[in-house]
Structure formats: structure tokens, C-alpha cells
Amino acid sequence: MQPQTHPNPDLSVGPDHHPRWNAAPHRRQGFHTLHRIARYSLGFRAASVLDLRLTADLGIPAREDVRRLTASPWFSALAVTEGNRLLYEAYAPDFGPDRPHAIMSISKMAANLILGHLWEAGRIALDEPLGAILPWLGPGYRDATVQQALNMDVHNAFNEDYTDPFTTVFQFETAMGMRLPQGPEPLMAELLAGIGLAPGAGDSVNRTGASLYKSANTDVLMLAAEARGGRPLRAWLADLADAAGIEGVLHMGTDRAGTPIFSGGICLTARDLCRYGALFARNGRGVDGTAFGSAAFLDRTLAGGVPMPAPRGHLRYSNQTNTDGTWVGHGGYGGQYLVANPATGRVACYLSVLQDAHGYDPDWYPPVIAMLTEICAGP
């Protein structure tokens, strides 16, 4: 007799076009347990852990914006570090310091470290067309350069509108094991190869004057890094965990073939997210002092980039980070943000879960960014 089965309820897509874990009533629990919900993942632990010792900065909890944003029902965690000092941390009642949280697109910052390392080593050129590195790419990326992809400066048919039931980013969720497929299950490389030009466009040049956010850029870049780096991406992740000195597990989502999804696959605790950010505060150096990223590439990152659209028009998208010229950081779908300031050595992260219809509100981020920027500027 054939055994009885039923579709995985966490990954089944409902009438709101989201899998249950990402539907508004379940999204908070989903973000707090995505490292266990996603079908495919890898885990990495560090050999040596960066000590974080509580040295409270009472000016941080005294801030009005800290009080307000940590009181929000969407709040999960806020943590601030400087070197080995844990200056502040706060958690929602249903979260805690030992709990991993989905950081979504903050994962993209790892591409800055890895591509920067390869660039400094002469293994990859920023003006090189991606099609010269990955000949199987379709017209959406074939002629775009490494630098254009790094700066979210590519115009193609990839769509990341979470309110659109036909958005191509939902196909990527299927490849990542975050929703059940309708038909054959795609691999990430297959999806990337199939991205074409935007309707009516004759090339992939971005003529808008502002960055065009496409998570696919990151995954193309990381496959280019794997090709030019001569080692599997999972080896870079093992080195990343060691360089950051994380205490828990760096969880990385993958597709069915085991390809790590650097566009949004990492889950970390708040403290370990600060340890990850501290790689930028240390100008790319790991906890043992050796270079994991590139200080010269970070300088280029702080100085370069493409203006971001409103309401973040005061920032630039540069080499897979957001920057104002002083700090680097990134946001994540659903309500996360990380800021790292190399001038002060401070790192601050804010984790939250937006429980609106689609998990995205562009107006949620500016006050969070302003708070983290001011905290990382120091007393």
C-alpha cells in the first residue's frame, strides 16, 4: 500500500501568495525559526570565538528612538558592540541572545568581503563582463560587468516586488527550499541563466540614475567568485565563520544542489550578526588579524556607489552594501538592518519582523538606519 502524505504545511503557499511561514500571522515565528524551516541548509561554527564582554553604555537605552523601536510589537533584538565590548543588547520576550534570526539580504555583505579579497588578489576584474566568467548566463547578465552587479546597477527582467504574485523572486524562494514548487524544482544556476532583458530593453544598462535592487545580482556574483576563486563557496563560508569568530552556528540556506544563497540565506544570533559586522569595522580583518576581505576594497566601497532611491536617497548602494561614506551596512527583507562604522569600531544591528501583508514597508527602515548610524558614531 502506498503511504499517505500531505504537503509540508510550513512551505505550502496560501491565498496571499506567501508560504505559511511567511504569511503575516506566522511570519514572526518563521523568521525566528527559518534555519529549521528551510528545506536545505549548511551550518558552520568558528574555531575561536570573539569574546563579547558586557560594558554597558547607558547612553544607548536612554535614547528616545531606542526606547520607541524596542517597544514595537515587531521588535526582536538590538545589539551594539565595539571590539570586545558588548555595549548594549535588548530582546523581545519571545526571542533571546541564543536564538538565530533570518537576516535576509544582510547576507549580501559577505559578497563585499569575498569579491574584495579576489579583486585585491588579482583574481577578478571589476570591469569584466559577467558573461566572460559564466558563459552560460542569459542576456539579463551576460554583458553586465562585475562592478555593475556589485552596485545594483543592472537593468533586466528580474522582479523583486513582493506584492506581485508573479514576481520572479518567488521562483528563487522555491529554489531555496522556502516554498513548495509548482512543477519541477529549479536550481539557482538554472534560474539565473534564464533571466533575460527587461521588456522593450535592448541591453542591461541602468539609465535611471538610481540603484535597481535585484537579489539575483548577488547570486550571479558569488558563482563568478566560485569560478575565479577556484574553491567551493562553502569553503568561503567556513572561513567567514572563523574570521568573524561567531559563537553559535552560521546557518546558510542552499538550493537542492547545495549552492549557498548569499542573496539572503544566512541566519545568525544578534550577537553573531554584530561579530559578522565587525569584519567591516576591522577593515576586513578576521579575529586572528589575517585579511578575509580587503581594506582597499572597503575604501572604494565607502567612496563609490550608485544613489539609492527614496526613502534612502541619502545613501549609496556600493559593492553589495549601503553607505553614507562613513559606515557600511545593509537591510533585510522583513525588518532587519546592520551598520558597521570602521572609524569608531562600532557595530549595531536591529532585528524585527514586519507583520503587515507582505513583510515590507520602505518607511520602516529610515528611522532604524538613523538610530543605528548615530549609535555607531559613538558618544
Model pLDDT for residues 9-23, shown as the tens digit of each residue: 999 999 988 999 999
The pLDDT of residue 163 is above 90: no
pLDDT digits 0-9 by tens, 325-358? 999 999 999 999 999 999 999 999 999 999 999 9
CA distances from 172 to 45, 98, 202, 295 (A): 26, 29, 25, 32
Output the pLDDT for position 234. 97
pTM of the model: 0.97
Q: How many residues does the chain have?
A: 379
The pLDDT of residue 266 is above 90: yes
pLDDT digits 0-9 by tens, 195-216? 999 999 999 999 999 999 999 9
The pLDDT of residue 59 is above 80: yes
- 29 pLDDT tier (thresholds 50, 70, 90): very high
pLDDT > 90 in the chain, percent:
94
The 10 Å Cβ neighbour count of residue 235 is 12
For the domain spanning 20-376, the CATH number is: 3.40.710.10
- 168 pLDDT tier (thresholds 50, 70, 90): confident
- How far apart (Å, rounded) are the C-alpha atoms in residues 12 and 181? 9
* pLDDT (mean) for 357-374: 95
Residues 6 or more apart whose Cβ sits within 8 Å of residue 303: 325
* pLDDT (mean) for 73-87: 98
Long-range pairs for 143-146: beta carbons < 8 A, 24 or more residues apart: 143/203, 143/204, 144/204, 146/115, 146/221, 146/224
Structural contact between residues 32 and 269, judged by C-beta atoms closer than 8 angstroms: no
- How far apart (Å, rounded) are the C-alpha atoms in residues 358 and 334? 8
* pLDDT (mean) for 232-261: 98
The pLDDT of residue 87 is above 90: yes
